[in-house]
A and B are shown apart, each in its own frame.
Chain A
Amino acid sequence: MSTSDQALQPAARAAGWLRSLRGPAAFAYLLLAPAVLTLAVVVLYPVMTAVDISFRRVEIYSPSTARGPLTLANYVRLFEAPAFWQATRVSIAYVIISISFALLIGFGTALLLNHRFRGRTLARTLAVLPWAVPPVVAVNVWWWILDPSYGLLNWILLQLGVIAQPVNWITQTGPALASVSLVTIWKGYPFFTVMLLAGLQAIPQDLYDAVAVDGAGRVGTFRHITLPALRGVLSLATLLSVLWVFREFTIIWVLTGGGPIRATETLAIMTYREAFANFRMGFAAAIGMVTLVISIVASIFFIRQAGKEFY
């Protein structure tokens, strides 16, 4: 009796779902259909193909070539390749350097631009503008500022006595990573500024009035009101920025191409180079899949840590 009831349950549920298709739910699905279908064709199907390629021995893949058997060869080769571990280290260093500075600058500018003053709208627009500047343009501008012979940065540092000799920013291993991070920070801080400004505006004035009555100072107000209220926004902004920097291609590719001697080759750059410079698409897809898995695992870990403060 009870078993047949259980067997009937999915059928009953399906029937209920079908019935709900008349009325508002049908309309809702109808409106969603074009978006879902489009994403299935342009994202889901390509991703499934990429998964498949990563398990095949393929150099230049095309839909007409006969596929070999499934194999783990790409992944085995990947974990044995020193270049992969090097790229992983570079990715982590690049993300940590870029995000920490972008967060500090973004937080600072948000606090500053939250004050009321004449010309605030203009100041906000100018401060946030780098977000919209095309990455290629950002690279060109900084490439000129970082120019070893006539660039502005070396001139300033020489004047200040910070350096005795001009630095070859882009062609030396250490400075090259600093250079790509610098451009990334400049492109990335406005996102923190805007998110935190929105977060600051959402804090009710009553809270500040209340602690002012209690005689809290600036630091106390910041620690006990502002910071806790911004936790959710800060976590989300950090997560989204980390995911963006981890996948970043244009800034590194145009500025250094991943060089010199792989000093700025992140996993994203390595994926692209293997696919389109060395024409090893199976191997490249395997790197990309590992990158994706790292992103997902890191995000889950991060969301657990940050609590259920978003979505």
Chain B
Amino acid sequence: MNVRAPHVLSRALLYAAVVVVVGTLFFPVYWMFNTSLAPQDQLYVYPPKFIHPNATFAAYAKIFRERPIARWLANSFVVVVLTCGFSLAISVLAGYSLSRFRVRGAGGLGYLMLASRMLPTTLLVIPLFVFMSSLKLIDSLWSVVIANVTFILPFATWMLKGYFDSIPRELEEAAYIDGTSRLGALIRVTLPLAAPGVAATMLYSAILAWDEYLFARTFLNTTSAWTITVGLGSFRGEYITFWNEVMAASLVGTLPIIVIFLLLEKQLVGGLTAGAVK
């Protein structure tokens, strides 16, 4: 419904509504940033300050000094790269196959995708924990990588199928006539065209893997083995809460996501709705 508001007044109302609504919904992110810059003596005061005149980055320096934040970020980075690398390599093939060939058994895959969203993660984590223990993978980042594949792989496959669907198959058929093999056509003709879709899928998968908490919390016990989300979840339950430090650490843990999200800006709608809207 792309309505062109005719009057100056309704334009102004539209802008006012957008500013109020988006401003309110985005406010918690601003509040995290604002508090992270607060000097220690400004934390426990009423009324709260919406802008700090004596803003300081001291909290950032302190969290990097006192907690292994850099280590947690590095661990998360390793987990994300391995999870996405492995999942994408497999899901590109599967997504292409589902998009191009109607083989027996593939039709039920849509329902299988839905079924995978019904499986309670807190149930799946029980046998996974048992296996990780017996494979001596507790405290190893591999345990989290393997567990993340359980939800990244179906997600990426489904999203990539949607992207392949949007690439005309005539191009491959032309390549066949020229004598290119099926695999050759996939690698040299289709994949280059699908590159933006593969990149978007990679970024979405990276967000999901970065945000993961349950598996990492269960499989990684030693503080130095934690990912950033486990570290950020550990502030609850400490005796005194220095809000500027909690917010600074939280913002540091969110920055990579914000960067990815801005990269995705143009494909925002395409990614989340993959396979859902025709």
**Which residue numbers of A lie inside 8 Å of B, CB to CB?**
17, 24-25, 27-29, 31-32, 34-36, 38-39, 42-43, 45-47, 49-50, 53, 61-64, 105, 108-109, 111-117, 119, 121, 123-145, 147, 149-150, 152, 155, 186, 189, 191, 194-195, 197-203, 205, 208, 221, 226, 233, 236-237, 240, 243-244, 246-247, 249-250, 253-255, 267-269, 271-272, 275-276, 281, 284-285, 287-289, 291-292, 295-296, 299, 310-311
Q: A127 CA to B21 CA in the complex, in Å? A: 8
Residue in chain A with minimal CB distance to B260: A132
Are A63 and B130 touching (Cβ within 8 A)?
Answer: yes
Q: Known contacts A127-B26, A291-B123; decide if A141 and B247 are in contact (CB<8 Å).
A: yes
Nearest CB of chain A from residue B179's CB, rounded to whole Å: 16
Are B1 and A186 touching (Cβ within 8 A)?
Answer: no
Are A247 and B120 touching (Cβ within 8 A)?
Answer: yes
Tell me if B205 is interfacial: C-beta within 8 Å of chain A: no
Interface residues of B in 227-273 (CB under 8 A from A): 228-229, 232-233, 235-236, 241, 243, 246-247, 250-251, 253-254, 257-258, 260-262, 265-266, 268-269, 272-273
Are A285 and B214 touching (Cβ within 8 A)?
Answer: no
Interface residues of B in 95-109 (CB under 8 A from A): 96-98, 100-101, 103-104, 106
Are A125 and B262 touching (Cβ within 8 A)?
Answer: yes
Cβ of A42: which chain B residues have Cβ within 8 Å of it?
128, 146-147, 149-150
Q: Known contacts A132-B260, A140-B246, A202-B277; decide if A43 and B91 are in contact (CB<8 Å).
A: no
Residue from A124, A152, A249 within 8 A of B121 (CB atoms): A249
Are A112 and B213 touching (Cβ within 8 A)?
Answer: no
Are A116 and B115 touching (Cβ within 8 A)?
Answer: no
Are A208 and B1 touching (Cβ within 8 A)?
Answer: yes
Which label, helix, strand, loop or mixed, suits the secondary structure of the A interface?
helix
Are B117 and A243 touching (Cβ within 8 A)?
Answer: yes
Q: A200 CA to B2 CA in the complex, in Å? A: 9
Are B117 and A137 touching (Cβ within 8 A)?
Answer: no
Residue in chain B with minimal CB distance to A268: B122
Q: Known contacts A115-B5, A125-B261; decide if A137 and B122 are in contact (CB<8 Å).
A: no
Nearest CB of chain B from residue A140's CB, rounded to whole Å: 5
Are A64 and B134 touching (Cβ within 8 A)?
Answer: yes
Tell me if B4 is interfacial: C-beta within 8 Å of chain A: yes
Which label, helix, strand, loop or mixed, suits the secondary structure of the B interface?
helix
**Which residue numbers of B lie inside 8 Å of A, CB to CB?**
1-5, 11, 14-15, 17-18, 21-22, 25-26, 28-29, 31-32, 35, 43-48, 89-91, 93-94, 96-98, 100-101, 103-104, 106, 110-111, 114-131, 133-134, 146-147, 149-150, 153-154, 157, 182-183, 207, 210-211, 213-214, 218, 228-229, 232-233, 235-236, 241, 243, 246-247, 250-251, 253-254, 257-258, 260-262, 265-266, 268-269, 272-273, 276-278
Cβ of A150: which chain B residues have Cβ within 8 Å of it?
43-46, 48, 243
Nearest CB of chain B from residue A117's CB, rounded to whole Å: 6
Are A288 and B246 touching (Cβ within 8 A)?
Answer: no
Cβ of B133: which chain A residues have Cβ within 8 Å of it?
62
Residue in chain B with minimal CB distance to A52: B127
Residue from A35, A199, A299 within 8 A of B114 (CB atoms): A299
Cβ of B265: which chain A residues have Cβ within 8 Å of it?
121, 125
Q: Known contacts A202-B277, A288-B126; decide if A31 and B94 are in contact (CB<8 Å).
A: yes
Most buried by B among A137, A141, A267: A137
Nearest CB of chain A from residue B67's CB, rounded to whole Å: 14
Return 30 A-B CB contacts under 8 Å, by A number. A17-B104, A24-B182, A28-B101, A32-B97, A32-B98, A45-B127, A46-B127, A111-B1, A125-B268, A126-B25, A132-B261, A134-B210, A134-B253, A136-B233, A138-B28, A140-B32, A140-B246, A140-B250, A194-B273, A195-B273, A198-B269, A201-B269, A249-B122, A250-B213, A254-B236, A275-B125, A275-B126, A276-B129, A292-B123, A311-B110
Q: A165 CA to B236 CA in the complex, in Å? A: 24
Are B127 and A47 touching (Cβ within 8 A)?
Answer: yes
Q: A269 CA to B22 CA in the complex, in Å? A: 32
Nearest CB of chain B from residue A107's CB, rounded to whole Å: 12
Cβ of B262: which chain A residues have Cβ within 8 Å of it?
125
Are B123 and A289 touching (Cβ within 8 A)?
Answer: yes
Q: A251 CA to B120 CA in the complex, in Å? A: 15
Are B101 and A254 touching (Cβ within 8 A)?
Answer: no
Q: A64 CA to B133 CA in the complex, in Å? A: 11
Are A140 and B2 touching (Cβ within 8 A)?
Answer: no
Are A291 and B90 touching (Cβ within 8 A)?
Answer: no
Q: A147 CA to B154 CA in the complex, in Å? A: 39
Most buried by A among B14, B45, B210, B261: B261
Are B124 and A199 touching (Cβ within 8 A)?
Answer: no
